[in-house]
Amino acid sequence: MKINSLAQTNFETIFRAFNQSFADYEIQLNKEQLQTMLKRRGFNPELSFAAFEDDKIVSFTLNGIGNFNGIPTAYDTGTGTLKTHRGQGLATKVFEYSIPFLKEANIEQYLLEVLQHNTKAISVYQNLGFETTREFNCFKQKNEEVTIDNKKTPLPYSILQIDVKEIIALSDFWDFHPSWQNSFEAIQRASNDFIYLGAFAENKLIGYAVFEPVSGDITQIAVDKQHRRKGVGTLLLNEILKLNQFDSVKVLNTDILQTSITHFFKAKNIDIMVKQFEMIRAIK
């Protein structure tokens, strides 16, 4: 068994290992979905690594490379081990093998998210020096189960499709910094996959939403603080449902300390699906 970079490994081999490693998980990804996810999350094969048995991947970590809060960062886009090879500490060995290469590439920190109920993985990450930085809620609901309050009185707002350039400077609308896969950097890696909606009041942009219609993923939704609780978010969500090509909507990684967005989605009957920890380790 040997550990190598994935720089010379074709996508078919990576997909096969990914598919086999997550075969016992609830959610499965096909080739196109995995390619889309890796593109959005900044997958870098040269700085991703796997344990090989002959030419077969038995454990891997697919790393995204970019900036997070202005710091050069490696992000765990997917770590998996074949069921037949679990319990051997291979994921830890692959991670530890990668650190000198990430350091040489001037990466200063490693970022990941882990499901809160996955206590075994959390323990492994803590032993590797990771610290929890935030807790996240993840929401999901079938389109037809989402509750929209269609007010009889027309609201003085219009919803229009806009260009991503119109919203990049609107971080003052945020209550929290987006997670890795919801950041503007991630959005711009796959900008054609998204629809961008703007809410306008007298030609002024007062709210926006970014979502991926093929997956129902609401990547960002934000309203100017001076225009909240006036139905702007509801109008944006209603337009998302009209344009959604998937059977449900999902919202990943909202900060649990920011209760306004939690209350907003719960009021729309979009339930919390799982909770995650965001964890970071400095690379020294």
pLDDT tier, 23 (very low <50, low <70, confident <90, very high otherwise)? confident
Q: What is the pLDDT of residue 134?
A: 98
Q: What is the pLDDT of residue 24?
A: 79
Alpha carbons 59 and 48: distance in angstroms, whole number? 11
If residue 241 lies in a helix (H) or strand (E), which one and from where to where? helix 232-243
CA nearest 15: which of 57, 49, 64? 57
- Nearest-10 crossing angle of helices 11-21, 31-40: 100
> Which amino acid type is present at position 65?
I
65 neighbors 186 (Cβ within 8 angstroms): no
Q: What is the pLDDT of residue 25?
A: 75
Q: What is the pLDDT of residue 148?
A: 85
Q: How much of the chain exceeds pLDDT 70, in percent?
A: 98
pLDDT tier, 162 (very low <50, low <70, confident <90, very high otherwise)? very high
Rounded to two decimals, the pTM is 0.93
Mean pLDDT score of the chain: 95
Q: How far is CA 241 from CA 192, 207, 217, in A?
A: 19, 17, 11
Average confidence (pLDDT) over 124-130: 96
In the chain, which segments carry CATH 3.40.630.30?
Answer: 2-107, 138-275
CA dihedral 226, 229, 233, 239 (to 10 degrees): -120
110 neighbors 73 (Cβ within 8 angstroms): yes
Contacts of residue 119, Cβ cutoff 8 Å, sequence gap at least 6: none
Per-residue pLDDT tens over the stretch 227-272: 999 999 999 999 999 999 999 999 999 999 999 999 999 999 999 9
The terminus-to-terminus CA distance of the chain in angstroms comes to 27
The fold of the 138-275 domain, in CATH, is Aminopeptidase (3.40.630)
Q: What is the pLDDT of residue 153?
A: 56
Q: What is the pLDDT of residue 150?
A: 65
Q: Which CATH class is domain 2-107?
A: alpha beta
Per-residue pLDDT tens over the stretch 181-225: 999 999 999 999 999 999 999 999 999 999 999 999 999 999 999
Q: What is the pLDDT of residue 87?
A: 92
Q: How much of the chain exceeds pLDDT 90, in percent?
A: 92
Q: Where does the chain show beta strands of DSSP type E?
A: 2-5, 49-53, 56-68, 71-81, 109-115, 131-142, 158-161, 195-201, 204-212, 217-223, 248-255, 271-282
Q: What number of other Cβ atoms are within 10 A of residue 161's Cβ?
A: 10
Tokens of 78: 């997917």
